Structure 1
Amino acid sequence: MNESLNRCFTREEVTITLKQIHPTKAPGPDDNPLHTHGINKSFLDSTIFILSHATLQDLELFFAIAWAIWFNRNKIVHKDSSLLPLQVWKLAKNVSEDFVSSATWDLVQPRTTPSSWVPPPSGFHKINVDEASSELDSFSSVGVVIRDCKGDVVAALCKPLQTRFSAELTEVFALEHGILLAQELHLAWGHC
């Protein structure tokens, strides 16, 4: 059973599903903004084409479609059932919309910051993070400092990222690295 899940998508699987999604540049009856009709390339070729020619929204939708195809294939392998191509499209569209709505943050509200560093409660650690993004550099970087309740540094991290991201997104990556570092060190931490 696992061998069938690990095999590569066949050209026919991808082509049949993509051809079922009618071509439109602007959303029409099928709501598909991607040019998918007539793609006779492998999944990798299609991905590279879309990566080099598409907008961020096109990429989100493309990968949602790829996931929906994969999900449908797993249904066939495990349950001997499948979705119709239109159902695969609607599933991909819903997944993409859910992703966009869950990734929408209110970054406009100002953050209140204490005038001085406040230690965490006894037995906990405090994770402080920062980011650096410059329009002049081709990458962003994150910094993490973890302190105990006495203010002593327990761990620190400085890491360049592979590309440049917005300041807001780089801050999210800094938070992620801070939490992962604390988990790796098995430190007790909490939101203070």
Structure 2
Amino acid sequence: MPERLSRQILWVSDLIDEDSKEWKRELVNLRFLPQDTDAILGIPLSVIGARNRVVWAETKNGRNEARHSGKQRSGLAVSRSSLRLLEQFQIANEHPATTAVQNQLVKWTLPPSGCYKVNVDGAVFSKRKLAAMGVVIRDEEGQLIATLCRKLYTPLGPLETEAKTMEVGIMFAREVGIRDVLFEGDSLVLNNAIHGLNKIDPSVQNVVKGILQSVQGFRTFAFSHTKRQGNAPAHALAQHVVNVEDFLVWLEECPGCIVRACMQDVRSIYNHE
């Protein structure tokens, strides 16, 4: 067995690739049971990283109370605490009830003058345990500047995938070299979390922190939300990821899978004018 797989694992960071800031999938699969492997790989990692620390659930300071203060809870108390955590988890993962609303036509809009718009969208392929990302960058006239689609071999959930896609979109925009950017996606929950309008879900807390830190390198930046109809090219690109091996980048070239969606966006803008 290779040394890198046989050495003892003491910290979470031992399971994370230092350069890519991604899980060492081979090591995780080797050391953990299948159900635990999916749970670990389903945790999104931020490019900013985080320090190792020991945390005990259901304590105010995250410390082991039995060890540090001599207080030890009874088995019944522990059982009740576990059931309460399970109930909170189930409530948090329930789909909210939908209400009938009047259909409104949502269109993609141009970014402000002198600014670029980066549209992002993520897709989850649960059966394949894949997360897919689509990023589309256009200028103030709607001209395509760059696109990216990327595949992640991790069983992320919808919110985690959207958060990671936004982070990847920010990094891609920085690599392309644009400085004034409007980032847009169709996840209202993520958009509200970025703007501090609601409590950040613990599963994406570190990624949102990374997003807010990463955008500081731009001259100007902003975040906006649109519905799926206003994010069609990025959505189509994310769906296309299943057809690529890992990731693809197009510079000043429109991928065939989003030509129609891009033309419809531009047509709707100028027909409206």
Shared fold per TM-score greater than 0.5: no
Q: Which has the larger radius of gyration?
A: 1
**Per chain length, whose mean CA-contact separation is higher, i.e. which structure has more relative contact order (CA < 8 Å, sep 6+)?**
2
TM-score (norm. length: structure 2): 0.34
TM-score (norm. length: structure 1): 0.45
